[in-house]
Structure 1
Amino acid sequence: MADPIHDGAVASSALAPDTGKPLPASSLVRFALGFILFGGMWMMSDMIGAAVLLPQRFVELFPGQAEAVLGTMNSFGSIFALIANVVFGALSDATRSRFGKRTPWIACGGFIAGIAFWLTSVQTSLVGIAVFWSILQVGLNMMIAPAMPILSDRIPLMRRGTISAFYGAGVICGQSLGTIIGSAFITDIPAGVVFGVISWFLTGLLVVIIWPRERSAALAQTQRSDRLSPSALLKSFIPSCRGCRDFYLALVGRFLFVFGYFVIGGYQLYILERFIGLGEIRASQVLSILSLIIMVVSLVTSLTSGVISDKIGRRKPLVAVASVLIAIGFAVPWLVHSVASMYIYAALSGIGYGVYSSVDQALNVDVLPSREQAGKDLGILNIANTAGQVFAPVVTSSIVLITSSYALTFPFAICFIMLGVVFIMLIRGVA
């Protein structure tokens, strides 16, 4: 077995990029805890509103038009998220402060998101809802865009799958916990909103406290002869073009996966009520159980898959297996309309999503064209997330509007998820 201290190739993969030294075990633990907390808290806060409380409020405010309102809100919000992710990723690359280049943005974004969440919840017009939800997405991506490059900036190559798995596990737990907590407040929406606001406020602050302190970026600026100018800042927003084949394949593959997943995953409450045929209270109860199933199985598979990915040094086969499992999970309730079929959907899609989320972010970091512009490039890759969420609600709402049923959304989602696998398997630089 190769010795990571004496084997040159292995040694470089075991070194932290920001220090050039092995990452201490205590720091690795702090990064793992910080990533799982960050993913969990932002997703929990988002799901409390987007998946439960706001959809239920729209049913009361806009009878017969709730899906259209939700789709419009998510579409506008995702457009702003798309822009904010690229902008704040590039700005964090260029930031020079004694707190580091990522930390200031992460710490501030949660406060903007929290205030915007409360303002969204009290709106009674579609315009007001869309405006403040869009501001929330700006605050959220002010945190996400600088946080994800930490994998490239500070985590050794041989540990990225593991740390990515902790982030994925956090997102999974947050998705389920947010749905469970939101369902518990479905008859007391204002109290649920207050809970969400507090969670937003704490998201960015807690993670920068838990992570080892980022090295000052102010000194780096003083040591550079090419101080950042307005023209240089503008150039930093230009997408990478040379030697980026794998980068853009990963972008397309991720978009197709996210798009297909959210065609179904973003509409579970409505599917239970209008496709399976459950009443409001029963649907919220089943939704809580679905979320618990997804959380448990995804958490287990996410953490184990990340470690396996690092051990075998491969990402693509795990992505393919994950996508197939999700596709099968979507097919079950499409063919059999029952609560039991939704439980099977939760188990299979939860396993698949856990595996996918554990290696996807590590794969994306592995195909980055430049570590110096990791924030911008990961922001571009995250266009896949935001664009997928822009188009998914539009397509789902359109299918339901035209067919008066959710039936066709299932095969539609399955096709796009499997198409995403094709693009990921075409990547050459990652096994």
Structure 2
Amino acid sequence: MDPGARPEVSRGWITRYGLLYLGQNLAWAAPAQLLLARQILVWHPGDKEARLALLMAIGGVASLVGHPLAGWLSDATGGRRGRRAPWILVGAAVSAGCLAAMAAAPGFWALTAAWTVFQLFIAAAINSAQAVAPDGVPRHQYGTVSGVLGLTYTLGLVAGTAVAALLGTGPAYLVAATLLLAATAQFLLGFRDPTAGVAPAAAPREAPDPDPDPAPGRADRPAAGYRDFGWVFVARFLVTTGNYVALFYLFYFLRDRIGLADPDGGVLVLTGIYAACVVATAVAAGVVSDRSGRRRGYVAASSAGVAVACAVMAAAGDFPVVLAAAVLLGLSWGVFMAVDQALINEVLPSAARRGRDVGVMNLAVAGPNTLAPLLAAAALGAFGGYPGLYLFAGAVTALGAAAVTRVRGVP
């Protein structure tokens, strides 16, 4: 069905969809934020930094492979259960098993192996879940649904960190696995995959895709469709890179540049403010974007807001100024997360290969996550310390804001 003519999804459906995404993001946040570092500290206190960096690098490569691979596999899946539901279920089940294995891991290499498999299958679950919206949500609700995903992503990050901080290592892994399975079950039990019965994308010649292209007219102009997709990818990659670079050395920035006596507490305060601002703007921005029918301007303006927040950080000499930057950064990032995903849904060029294209677009997040430490270290040395680092992050983000304006098919 044409995305412009689909029936609306209910608030209950949107809530269950958001809870699914919350559980998926909680599952990776708990290990990534604290549990892995805690285990490695026990086993290898002398070279914990190098060991953790190695584990995260291996897992990062698995994630880079997992997202496009998962998208391709879900597109090629057919049958009465649809393209996405089987991979959401399989991804969650294997990921939960990996979390249990990580809780019982006897040493570093067993932990690394379980984390690598986890990254592959949580990518399958998340990627398939993200493709559900462009498969079945009407275009005029893209922003609302994407705003809920932005909200639950942030809540999942905070909740995963809280689970890891409040529980012992083994119980925290098991709680994360249980919550992932519960979040998946509550969504899939009432979910009818709109791709059920649709021929898999692997065999388009034998069975033409009955779902028309999401943007009318792009089916016979694939280059034009992928041109907009490409610019959105570039914009997302640059803005995400700028944001990650800006946050990477926050603890050291507060300690060495601002001279804060308690940099740990400062990071906690800033994280709380940042998360609260993201929550405050994510859903509201999505709803406003739906009502206006516009996406591009919101993404460009929020990207510019992130760039300005980086410039404020570059000029900051005391903690109140950093607090102001955190507010601006959180408000801007909340809008960006909400409307950027809606814009992605708008520019997916092929109805038959939405999973693959969503997987490729996710590389614009996984790539910066891998590159940010290297870029931050290089910028810190090359541009004269923290002011230069934050100006670099702001410049990268501003380029992302400019890239969004090159999109032509979406207002």
Asked if Structure 1 and Structure 2 have the same fold, meaning a TM-score greater than 0.5 normalized by the shorter chain, the answer is yes
Give the stretch that moved more between structures: 330-339 or 374-383.
330-339
Instruction: Determine which of 300, 316, 334 is the counterpart of 2:296.
Output: 316
C-alpha separation in 2, matches of 1:404 and 1:116: 43
| Offset of residue 14 of structure 1 | 4.4
**TM-score between both structures, scaled by the size of structure 1:** 0.79
| CA 99–377 in structure 1, closer or farther in 2 if over 3 Å, else same | same
Please give the residue correspondences for 1:120-135 in structure 2 after superposition, counting only pairs within 5 Å: 120=102, 127-135=109-117
2:291 maps to amino acid: K
| Offset of residue 396 of structure 1 | 3.5
Aligned twin of 1:327: 307
Instruction: Determine which of 7, 15, 18 is the counterpart of 2:5.
Output: 15
| Offset of residue 332 of structure 1 | 3.7
Aligned twin of 1:3: none
Aligned twin of 2:141: 159
| CA 202–13 in structure 1, closer or farther in 2 if over 3 Å, else same | closer
Please give the residue correspondences for 1:17-96 in structure 2 after superposition, counting only pairs within 5 Å: 22-23=7-8, 27-58=9-40, 66-96=48-78
**1:177, 1:291 within 8 Å by CA — same for their partners in 2?**
no
**2:102, 2:173 within 8 Å by CA — same for their partners in 1?**
no
**2:232, 2:344 within 8 Å by CA — same for their partners in 1?**
yes
C-alpha separation in 2, matches of 1:404 and 1:196: 42
1:214 maps to amino acid: D
Q: Secondary structure at the match of 2:350?
A: coil
| Offset of residue 181 of structure 1 | 4.0
C-alpha separation in 2, matches of 1:81 and 1:103: 20
| Offset of residue 247 of structure 1 | 0.9
Aligned twin of 2:158: 176
| Offset of residue 28 of structure 1 | 2.3
1:346 is the counterpart of 2:298? no
**2:245, 2:376 within 8 Å by CA — same for their partners in 1?**
yes
| CA 224–324 in structure 1, closer or farther in 2 if over 3 Å, else same | closer
1:366 maps to amino acid: E
Q: Secondary structure at the match of 2:78?
A: coil
**TM-score between both structures, scaled by the size of structure 2:** 0.83
C-alpha separation in 2, matches of 1:345 and 1:46: 27
1:256 maps to amino acid: L
C-alpha separation in 2, matches of 1:205 and 1:301: 29
| Offset of residue 300 of structure 1 | 1.9
Please give the residue correspondences for 1:403-414 in structure 2 after superposition, counting only pairs within 5 Å: 409-414=389-394
| CA 121–347 in structure 1, closer or farther in 2 if over 3 Å, else same | farther
| Offset of residue 343 of structure 1 | 3.1
Instruction: Determine which of 211, 214, 232 is the counterpart of 2:193.
Output: 214
| CA 224–64 in structure 1, closer or farther in 2 if over 3 Å, else same | closer
**1:183, 1:288 within 8 Å by CA — same for their partners in 2?**
no
C-alpha separation in 1, matches of 2:35 and 2:387: 25
| Offset of residue 411 of structure 1 | 2.9
C-alpha separation in 2, matches of 1:251 and 1:404: 30
1:426 is the counterpart of 2:406? yes
C-alpha separation in 2, matches of 1:67 and 1:99: 44
**1:47, 1:175 within 8 Å by CA — same for their partners in 2?**
yes
**2:134, 2:345 within 8 Å by CA — same for their partners in 1?**
yes
Structure 2, unmatched stretches of 5+, are: 209-220
Instruction: Determine which of 341, 345, 350 is the counterpart of 1:365.
Output: 345
1:265 maps to amino acid: L
RMSD: 3.4
C-alpha separation in 1, matches of 2:299 and 2:83: 31
**2:199, 2:207 within 8 Å by CA — same for their partners in 1?**
no
| CA 344–120 in structure 1, closer or farther in 2 if over 3 Å, else same | farther
1:298 is the counterpart of 2:298? no
Give the stretch that moved more between structures: 383-392 or 240-249.
240-249
| CA 58–260 in structure 1, closer or farther in 2 if over 3 Å, else same | farther
**2:103, 2:174 within 8 Å by CA — same for their partners in 1?**
no
Aligned twin of 2:130: 148
C-alpha separation in 2, matches of 1:273 and 1:54: 24
2:84 maps to amino acid: R
C-alpha separation in 2, matches of 1:270 and 1:194: 33
| Offset of residue 161 of structure 1 | 1.2
Aligned twin of 2:240: 258
| Offset of residue 370 of structure 1 | 0.8
* Percent identity over paired residues: 26
C-alpha separation in 2, matches of 1:121 and 1:398: 35
C-alpha separation in 2, matches of 1:413 and 1:125: 37
C-alpha separation in 2, matches of 1:406 and 1:115: 42
1:354 maps to amino acid: G
Q: Deviations over 1:67-106 (max 9, x none)?
A: 5444433332222112211112122112123222211110
| Offset of residue 143 of structure 1 | 0.8
C-alpha separation in 1, matches of 2:230 and 2:335: 22
C-alpha separation in 1, matches of 2:275 and 2:175: 20
C-alpha separation in 1, matches of 2:256 and 2:104: 26
C-alpha separation in 2, matches of 1:349 and 1:90: 34
Q: What is the aligned residue count?
A: 396
Q: Secondary structure at the match of 1:373?
A: helix
Q: Deviations over 1:224-245 (max 9, x none)?
A: 98269xxxxxxxxxxx963311
C-alpha separation in 2, matches of 1:257 and 1:155: 26
| CA 219–419 in structure 1, closer or farther in 2 if over 3 Å, else same | closer
2:355 maps to amino acid: G
Give the stretch that moved more between structures: 111-120 or 74-83.
111-120
C-alpha separation in 2, matches of 1:49 and 1:91: 26
| Offset of residue 191 of structure 1 | 3.7
**2:163, 2:176 within 8 Å by CA — same for their partners in 1?**
no
1:242 maps to amino acid: A
**2:128, 2:355 within 8 Å by CA — same for their partners in 1?**
yes
**1:110, 1:139 within 8 Å by CA — same for their partners in 2?**
yes
2:132 maps to amino acid: I
Please give the residue correspondences for 1:234-249 in structure 2 after superposition, counting only pairs within 5 Å: 242-243=223-224, 244-249=226-231
| Offset of residue 413 of structure 1 | 2.2
C-alpha separation in 2, matches of 1:403 and 1:125: 40
| CA 72–203 in structure 1, closer or farther in 2 if over 3 Å, else same | farther
C-alpha separation in 2, matches of 1:405 and 1:189: 36
**1:259, 1:416 within 8 Å by CA — same for their partners in 2?**
yes
**1:165, 1:306 within 8 Å by CA — same for their partners in 2?**
yes
**2:24, 2:180 within 8 Å by CA — same for their partners in 1?**
yes
